[in-house]
Amino acid sequence: MNQWREIPVNEKEENYKLIQKFARKKQIHPLIAKKLYHDGLKTEKEFMDYLLPTIDQLHDPYLLNDMKKAVSRIVDAIKNKEKILLYGNASADGITATSILYKTLNEVEADVIYKVPKSIGEQYITKVEVSLIIVIGNGIHDQDVRIAQEFGNDLIFIDYHEVSKSNLTCYAHINPLRKDSEYPYKFLSGTGVTLKLAHALYNALCLPWEEQIVKHMPLATIGTIAASMPLTQENRVICYYGLKALNKETPLAIKFLTERFNTEIDSTAIAKQIIPKLNSLCIVGQTNKAVEMLLGSLVTDQLEEVFNKAFNKYKSSLSIQSLQAENFLSEHDLKKYPILVAKGPFSEDMIGEISAKLAEKYNKPTVIISENGNGAIRAFNAPSFSVFQALKHCSNDLSYFSGHQTAGTFAVNPSQVKSFFRSLQNFAWDSQIPFACFYTGNLPLKDITHDIFQNMRYLEPCGIGNPKPVFQSSFSSVPQLELFGEADVHAKISCSREDQTRIEAHGYFKGEVMRRIHKAPFGILYSPLCPESQTVVIERIREQI
């Protein structure tokens, strides 16, 4: 069983006392201030930069290698009326990045077209009558370079994956993770790097870049969260402005994706509603329709028809294949390992979704491998673990790999899967993935105040790198239990606060454990949702001994 530990801070430190004093002035709850101090905010300036991000916190895009060269080539193409192809990626990050760059180039009257592969298997560019190809977020493939050279196309890569080779023969390669990069922030998504290119283009064309890029930030926010990037520094600025814009004037397509969400759109709504629905369009081969939707080219009736069919197919497939993966883990007694690995007849378009779902459910890095040896890995809440470094460690067993801190893809020969499994687990043990669950402090559920829910607005966007605060609460027995969902897989408990209002705690996939221990003393770790909901999410449950 995982240990539960309160996050350590030295309350005698002068900086901690100053931050608590400053937080009181700003009406920030002491436990929220404690969480932010533990996360690294040690001065008033750092505190204010976090609470109120500004556009001037973004770095100069020309600090990215090859940015000047790429912008010059694109500007020449615009002036000479050359046709430009944007070659995107079949993912929520890929289609939002493609949409941002298409909108940018279209605004400046470039002759631009886009193509997004219909599936993961359709990886490489094909012959096309254009002068310039911009590949967005697909990683670096020798096949792309060879085809582009064969047909005389200049090739620009916009990417955010770790680079395993340095001898690239493309026209320009913009990537903060290049080995020779000195860019100050390494964790931009595909949309983040694309936004930097748009910023530089607006500058080069003497357009008001601040005003221009802010309007792209809603899509950049969706892409950043979809790519599982840390929501810190530049990513926090992007998502802060993106969420403000989404809640001020929500585009029709986003309203549709949030089921016409009547409350505030936050990072949870994006992660749980918008991104799965965008990915569903990609998975069923409707990638270009997804871009059309984000560009506003599809009317409501067309949206509904395309989307409903895609999402229903996606939900059914994800549910069935996730269950197959869990059965594989149980049958082979694999849940005890630090990294979960399942191999089977999984759809190659779904392996990333399955691995993400199980990684979130079991709080462990999760690998899903298809029968052909194509695999995906996702890792959440394990800051000492790098997906890319794990794949690099196992590279002798792999014919291909690509990734970043929290996500990756690879290909393994079926005969090498056992060796790959051993190498992966050894890397996990060496990385000392923590098996402890850390929480911010003790806060009985009945004592959570409206002020704490209001404070959640300051913390948004929350996610990887900027998690929501987690509190611990103990109970002598379940105050009021309700099971819900298919086969009562979820649980909900509620209790009254001092002002007689009710507070609810939702435990997704916690129905079984609540049925087992509901009459015994137990404890929960929980996180507050947005202010309008006045509900919390149960992260962990355990019986008190």
pLDDT band at 54 (very low <50, low <70, confident <90, very high): very high
* Domain assignment present for 43: yes
Same domain, 150 and 287: yes
pLDDT band at 239 (very low <50, low <70, confident <90, very high): very high
Instruction: Report the side by side order of strands in the sheet with 522-528.
Output: 441-442, 471-475, 522-528, 535-543, 502-507, 490-496, 481-484
Instruction: Please give the Cα distance from 85 to 303 (Å, whole number).
Output: 25
Least confident piece of the model among 193-202, 429-438, 448-457? 429-438
Contacts of residue 101, Cβ cutoff 8 Å, sequence gap at least 6 = 86, 134, 136, 158, 194, 197, 198
pLDDT at 262 over 60: no
Residue 382 sits in a domain whose CATH number is: 3.10.310.30
pLDDT at 140 over 80: no
pTM flag (> 0.75): yes
Q: Show which of 280, 295, 310 is a domain's final residue.
A: 295
Same domain, 130 and 193: yes
**Helix extents (H) in 300-350:** 300-331
pLDDT at 107 over 80: yes
**pLDDT at residue 434 in the model:** 58
**pLDDT at residue 147 in the model:** 65
pLDDT band at 430 (very low <50, low <70, confident <90, very high): confident
pLDDT band at 149 (very low <50, low <70, confident <90, very high): low
Question: In this structure, how many other beta carbons lie within 10 angstroms of the beta carbon of residue 54?
Answer: 11
Three-state DSSP state, 193: helix
Same domain, 274 and 129: yes
Contacts of residue 336, Cβ cutoff 8 Å, sequence gap at least 6 = none
Query: Domain count of the chain?
Result: 4
Same domain, 43 and 75: no
Residue 483 domain boundaries: 438-545
Same domain, 258 and 386: no
Mean pLDDT to the nearest integer, 74-80:
97
* Domain assignment present for 8: no
pLDDT at 125 over 60: no
**pLDDT at residue 251 in the model:** 73
Contacts of residue 68, Cβ cutoff 8 Å, sequence gap at least 6 = 62, 200
**pLDDT at residue 499 in the model:** 80
Same domain, 25 and 151: no
Three-state DSSP state, 403: strand
Same domain, 117 and 178: yes
Same domain, 68 and 169: yes
pLDDT band at 121 (very low <50, low <70, confident <90, very high): very low
User: What CA–CA distances, in Å, run from 158 to 1, 13, 173, 277?
Assistant: 43, 44, 6, 25
* Domain assignment present for 232: yes
- Dihedral angle sign, alpha carbons of residues 184, 267, 189, 424: positive
Three-state DSSP state, 102: helix
Q: Quick check: 340 and 334 in contact, CB under 8 A? A: yes
Mean pLDDT to the nearest integer, 37-47:
89
pLDDT band at 51 (very low <50, low <70, confident <90, very high): very high
Mean pLDDT to the nearest integer, 492-511:
87
Same domain, 255 and 186: yes
Same domain, 20 and 68: no
Same domain, 406 and 524: no
**pLDDT at residue 151 in the model:** 62
Token readout for 364 is 């462990």
pLDDT at 78 over 60: yes
**pLDDT at residue 120 in the model:** 47
Mean pLDDT to the nearest integer, 183-209:
95
SS (H, E, C) 405-474: CCEEEEEECHHHHHHHHHHHHHHHHHHCCCCCEEECEECCHHHCCHHHHHHHHHHCCCECCECCCCEEEE
* Domain assignment present for 65: yes
Q: Is residue 276 exposed (0-12), middle (13-18) or buried (19+ Cβ within 10 Å)?
A: buried
Q: Show which of 243, 266, 295 is a domain's final residue.
A: 295
pLDDT band at 193 (very low <50, low <70, confident <90, very high): very high
* Domain assignment present for 329: no
Same domain, 364 and 507: no
pLDDT at 130 over 90: no
Residue 233 sits in a domain whose CATH number is: 3.90.1640.30
Mean pLDDT to the nearest integer, 127-131:
74
Peptide bond into 461 cis (omega under 30): yes
Residue 467 sits in a domain whose CATH number is: 2.40.50.140
Three-state DSSP state, 240: helix
Q: Give the count of alpha carbons within 13 A of 29, CB side only.
A: 21
* Domain assignment present for 491: yes
pLDDT at 261 over 50: no
Q: Show which of 295, 319, 353 is a domain's final residue.
A: 295
* Domain assignment present for 312: no
Give me the DSSP letters along 140-176: --HHHHHHHHHTT-EEEEE--SPPS-----SSEEE-T
* Domain assignment present for 77: yes
pLDDT band at 219 (very low <50, low <70, confident <90, very high): very high
Q: Quick check: 440 and 470 in contact, CB under 8 A? A: yes
